[in-house]
Chains A and B, each alone.
Chain A
Amino acid sequence: MKNPILPRGITRRGVLKGATALGAAGLILPASYRKAAAEPRRGGVMRIAMGHGNTSDNLDPATWDNAYVQVMASTIHNYLTEIDTDGTLAPEIAESWEASADAATWTFRIREGVTFHSGRTVTPEDVVASINHHRGEDSGSAAKPIVDPITDIQIDGQYVIFTLEAGNADFPFIMSDYHLPIMPSTDGRIDPRSADGCGGYVMQSFEPGVEAHMTRNPDYWKPNRAHVDEVIMLPIIDAAARQNALITGEVDVIDRVDLNTVHLLERSPNIRVISVPGTQHYTFVMDSRVEPFTDNNVRLALKYAVNRQQLVDTVLSGYGVVGNDHPIGRSNRYFADELEQRELDPERARYHLQQAGLDSLDVSLSASDAAFGGAVDAAVLFSETAAQAGININVVREPSDGYWSNVWMVKPFTAVYWGGRPTEDWMFSTAYATGAAWNDGFWDHERFNQLLSEARSELDEDRRREMYVDMQSIVRDEGSTVIPMFANYVMAVSDTIATPDDIGANWTMDGFRAPERWWMA
């Protein structure tokens, strides 16, 4: 029987397909992600409580390592480039940029007329000094590995020219890294103890571990940004205390909502939970140089032995999406949608064990809540589903203190947290390229390395996409990392706060830019 309501050309199957697509979009973009917003309003005091921050925080960009200083930095500073809410690159202190044909020389035009809070004009010399702060033999900067490929920096009038040791089509993305703010320089050096910057807010007082107080920069060059008059940032480490502060109205914004109690927060009428699916992901990484992980069949067996949806539902309380054993998130440009999603399949796992010549497998998995919140629980859940495939995972609870120096990249099988990177190349070169400092699986794949360096200097979009999809597929099927889940950035705001329609997914707090992009309702 024909359906008289539907016009020709629309079939039942087509409608179902459309509905599924809509449903899938709904999964990726939860309702709270998009919220109709009025025109930004000027004024007010935005009080932000962060789940990070401690008495050791300081103003030196080389040491920034937690979300508190990262948001604070993006509030008082500007960078060469800015990652927009849709994941594309926007100009900031660099007005425009262009690459040589081999993508190994990059020329940035520095915006004219931008001033630091101290009144000085931003010059190309300041840009060079700000980047050089992280380079060189004596650099103790956490950003040293990402600026190491720069072999030379030249100034030509209002232009700054970077020469790289090899082509990198994503170089302007790297210049948006939170470690690389543009700061005022004298004699070619920046003062790492100074809070002077060219961002939307001026630092009034900063007491590490207690409070940062910033006021609006009256000379800020960006129109329609930096809406509130004052920003107060507090570190509140205790999740319950942070939530209480929001409920009792002591603060307006909190990050790192405790996922065990998020449903209680959602019931509060004056509070809105903001959940953004980003590039942050949790992994179980195997040392591919150590038996039994040298055999890809063993690694595949483990990949088929994890119940991803269960981990997302329990460890993340649903605030996340399943991973497909590669580190590229759905918000990345070249996310490989076409790869089949890997599911729990004890039969397949058993088959791969047999291929490896094993009847059963005994491995120890090191986990700690330092790796990511709920890592030990996730490891226990993993061991339970793996038991169905004849894999016996012995979960070792490691101390949180010193986890990154004594467990990660030391023990053969560990739980790890990755903040993700805005570009595919950045993520792969950081943790999957042979010899990379943080290649935590000690993975070495010839074709992958070759594709990676080819794609880096490839400027043709379609060709690049093809290569990155290939690489995702290689990491998925032959890599040394189980990537069961991508965790959303979960924040909560009271009804005093209004946000734009789109919220950046590259980092927490709207890509660290919440104080600049959000406003008081």
Chain B
Amino acid sequence: MTLVLRMIAQRLALGLLTLFVVSLIIFGATELLPGDFAEAVLGQAATPETVAAIRRELGLDQPFYIRYVDWLWGAVQFDFGSSLAQRGRPVADMILGRLGNTLFLALYAAAMAVPLALMLGILAALWRNSLFDRVTNSSALSAISFPEFFVAYILIYILAQGGWFPSMARMPASADLGEKLYRSFLPALTLTLVVTAHMMRMTRAAIINLLSSPYIEMARLKGMRPSRVIVHHALPNAIAPIVNVVAINLAYLITGVVVVEVVFVYPGLGQLMVDSVSRRDIPVVQAVALIFAAAYVLLNLTADVISTLSNPRLMYRK
């Protein structure tokens, strides 16, 4: 167990280093983008004097490294500065509500997608090469092959224009959980369709891979039922690859759903990130990028911990 704890501590330290590198890369990348906040916010209406005035006011005329060090100094004290576009509004204040929305949608989609994918994967492995296996495989593959917005439009066409669910996932402030689940059902379903295939096929492949092992053959020779063989003997050993794929997909649900947010008018982090990049609102871009990076770091860490715990050879190695 100390091994696991030490691993977690080590990984978190490395994670912090990763976040630092990410912040440096993001800052540098936004610096490489043509134009800055002053030009972006004035757009067609920019004149040299007004651009210069805005730069002076916001300190954008300072060199790159001074602005970065300023930002970093604040960030290590958990002060992510204030947005350039919403003068004086703390970045944390802009992000918190949207982070909640993003996590809500990610969890909602994950709660549908993960059990569904595992179940379908196990069943497909159990009845492999059957009609069920083929139908599941091909429909999951087609769902993942369509672009997200296309899946979203199809769902809107059938379920929203049919009057079953709202086409917009806009929440009244007073919405209770049931209302929230109802209003955001279509985006969650879209994401479920998009991420299920990956997890399902990994589950199926990992289990089938194990089915040719000698210990599985032994279990079969004892006369055990195929479902019991899979759930009790194959699945525990297949956990490591499955958990890794699940972690990647969960991270995707948090970081990569801007298209779904746009189509369903869902106020999540993705839209904030895109708007802020196009406005060169660097404090917001940095903070959101760090959240996304942290999501990957933490989910990967969790996946590693679970695979280690599931494998005694890793737990008790000497």
Contacts and interface: CB of A to CB of B under 8 A. Distances in A.
Verify that A and B bind, or say they do not: yes
Given A54-B275, A58-B85, A141-B50, A250 B35 contact: no
Contact of B170 (A141, A211, A247): A211
Interface in B255-276: 262-265, 267, 271-272, 275-276
B277 to A, nearest CB: 8
B49 interface: yes
A142 B50 contact: yes
B262 A437 contact: no
Given A65-B43, A142-B50, A209-B272, A241 B264 contact: yes
B194 to A, nearest CB: 17
A405 B46 contact: yes
Closest 3 CB pairs of A and B: A56-B85, A140-B54, A142-B45
B262 A237 contact: yes
Contacts of A60: 87
Contacts of B85: 55-58, 63, 208
B86 interface: yes
Interface in A446-466: none
Nearest to B279: A56
A3 B170 CA distance: 66
B161 A56 contact: no
A378 to B, nearest CB: 18
A492 interface: no
Contacts of A248: 160-161, 163, 166-167
A388 interface: no
A240 B153 contact: yes
A405 B86 contact: no
A207 B173 CA distance: 12
Interface core residue of A55, A144, A402, A408 (most chain B CB under 10 Å): A55
A250 B265 CA distance: 12
A404 B47 contact: no
A438 B44 CA distance: 8
| B contact residues, range | 35 or more
B167 A406 contact: no
Given A404-B44, A404-B46, 17 more contacts: A55-B284, A56-B281, A65-B43, A65-B45, A138-B57, A140-B38, A140-B57, A208-B86, A209-B271, A209-B272, A234-B170, A247-B161, A248-B163, A250-B170, A402-B35, A438-B44, A438-B45
Given A140-B57, A141-B50, A404-B43, A55 B263 contact: no
A236 interface: yes
A139 B275 contact: no
A193 B87 contact: yes
Contact of B265 (A139, A208, A245, A437): A245
5 contacts: A56-B85, A56-B281, A144-B47, A402-B40, A438-B44
A240 B53 contact: no
Nearest to B41: A63
Interface in A352-380: none
A408 B45 CA distance: 11
Contacts of A208: 85-86
B44 A193 contact: no
A250 B163 CA distance: 11
A408 B46 CA distance: 11
Nearest to A179: B45
B168 interface: yes
Contacts of B49: 144
A402 B86 CA distance: 20
A145 interface: yes
Given A193-B87, A238-B263, A241-B264, A139 B50 contact: yes
A244 interface: yes
A337 interface: no
Nearest to A241: B263
Interface in B191-218: none
A57 B276 CA distance: 11
A424 B281 CA distance: 36
Contacts of B44: 404, 408, 417, 438
Interface of B: 33-35, 38-47, 49-51, 53-54, 56-57, 83, 85-88, 94, 97, 153, 156, 160-161, 163, 166-168, 170, 262-265, 267, 271-272, 275-276, 278-279, 281, 284
Nearest to A55: B275
A189 to B, nearest CB: 14
A142 B51 CA distance: 9
A137 B49 CA distance: 8
A155 interface: no
B280 to A, nearest CB: 9
Question: Which of B44, B272, B279, B284: most chain A Cβ within 10 A?
Answer: B44
A244 B262 contact: no
A417 B33 CA distance: 23
Nearest to B36: A405
A250 B278 contact: no
Contacts of B53: 137-140
B170 A56 contact: no
B42 A65 contact: yes
A210 B262 CA distance: 11
A45 to B, nearest CB: 12
A407 to B, nearest CB: 10
B193 to A, nearest CB: 18
Interface string A230-271: 000010111011001101101000000000000000000000
B281 A140 contact: no
Interface string A374-418: 000000000000000000000000000110111010000000010
Contact of A58 (B46, B87, B168): B87
A345 to B, nearest CB: 32
Q: Which of A60, A63, A141, A210 has the most chain B CB atoms inside 10 A of its CB?
A: A210
Which among A58, A63, A140, A247 has the greatest number of chain B C-beta atoms within 10 A? A140
Contacts of B40: 402, 405
A250 B168 contact: yes
A193 B94 CA distance: 15
A338 to B, nearest CB: 31
A54 B284 CA distance: 14
Contact of B86 (A58, A141, A437): A58
Nearest to A66: B43
Contacts of B279: 54, 56
B50 A56 contact: no
B308 to A, nearest CB: 40
Contact of A406 (B34, B56, B265, B284): B34
A250 B38 CA distance: 36
A138 B263 contact: no
B211 to A, nearest CB: 46
Interface string A203-224: 0000111110000000000000
Contact of A245 (B97, B168, B281): B168
Contact of B39 (A139, A145, A405): A405
B6 to A, nearest CB: 41
A56 B274 CA distance: 11
A154 to B, nearest CB: 25
Interface string A183-209: 000000000110000000000000111
B50 A244 contact: no
B275 A209 contact: yes
B263 to A, nearest CB: 5
Given A140-B38, A406-B34, A241 B46 contact: no
A238 B33 CA distance: 25
B35 A193 contact: no
A235 to B, nearest CB: 8
